[in-house]
Amino acid sequence: MISIEEFFIDYKNELLATAILVVVLLILKFVFTKAIRRVGRLSDIVEARTLLITKYVSILLSIVGFGLLTFIWNIKFRDVGIAFASVFTIIGVALFASWSILSNITAGVVLFFSFPFKIGDRVKIMDKDIEGEEPYLIEDIRAFHVSLRKDNGELLVYPNNLMMQKAVTLLYNQEIIGEEGTE
C-alpha cells in the first residue's frame, strides 16, 4: 500500500498541473462571468438570460477542464473504455435525437451576444407558417424559445433557431421616434 508521502512524491508534477488548471479555470470562470454580466447590463438584458449564459459557460469550462485533467493524469481510455463507450453512446444518441434542442440553445446564446432585439420590443416575423401580419410583443427570451404576444392576447412560443433563420423586422414605437426626433 502506498503512503501519502509516496503519492505526493510520485505524482508531484500531476498534482501541480492539476492545481494550476483549477486556478486557471476559476480565473476564466470569474472573467467570463464578469464579461457576460457587463454585456447583459450594457444591453439591458434580463438577469435570467445572463445567468443562463453564465451557466452554459461554466458547463463548457467544466468539460474542457475534465478533458485536460484526463490528459494531465495520462488516463488510458482503453482502461476505462467500456464505461466511456457506454456513456458516449448514450450521449451521442441523445444529442442526435435532440439536435433541434441544441440548435435552439446555441441560437439563444447567439441572440444573447448579438442582442438584435430585447424584451419589450415589437417585431414582425416573416414566416409563411405564421398567420397574419400583425406585430408581436417580445415577452420573454428563454434558452429554447421566445415568447411573443399579439395585441389580441394570443401567445406564440417561437423557437430560437427560427428567430435566427427567418427574417425578423424590429418595429419602433412612433411616439419614441417622434420624441427623439424633436430634441
Q: In this predicted model, what pLDDT tens digit does every residue of 25-80 receive, in sequence order?
A: 999 999 999 999 999 999 888 888 899 899 999 999 998 998 898 889 887 766 55
Domain shared by 108 and 128, yes or no: no
106-143 burial string, b = 16+ CB within 10 Å, else e? ebbbebbeebebebebbbbbeeeebeeeebbebeebbb
Query: Which residues, listed in sequence order, are joined to residue 107 by a DSSP beta bridge?
Result: none
Domain shared by 30 and 104, yes or no: yes
**Domain stops at, among 62, 81, 112:** 112
The CATH number covering residue 129 comes to: 2.30.30.60
As a whole number of angstroms, the distance between CA 35 and CA 145 comes to: 24
pLDDT(125) > 50: yes
As a whole number of angstroms, the distance between CA 105 and CA 29 comes to: 20
Domain shared by 93 and 135, yes or no: no
**Domain stops at, among 87, 112, 137:** 112
Q: Tell me what pLDDT residue 98 has.
A: 67
Could you tell me the residue range of the domain that residue 74 belongs to?
Answer: 4-112
Domain shared by 16 and 49, yes or no: yes
> Does the pTM of the predicted model rise above 0.75?
no
Q: Tell me what pLDDT residue 173 has.
A: 53
Domain shared by 89 and 172, yes or no: no
Classify 6 as helix, strand or coil: helix
The three three-digit cell numbers of residue 23, written as one number: 486556478
**Domain stops at, among 112, 143, 167:** 112
Q: Between 102 and 15, where is the model more confident?
A: 15
Domain shared by 17 and 104, yes or no: yes
Domain shared by 75 and 139, yes or no: no
Domain shared by 40 and 100, yes or no: yes
How many Cα neighbours within 13 Å face the side chain of 34? 5
Q: Tell me what pLDDT residue 115 has.
A: 73
Domain shared by 145 and 162, yes or no: yes
Q: pLDDT averaged over the chain?
A: 84
Q: How many domains in the chain? A: 2
Contact 174/164 with Cβ under 8 angstroms?
no
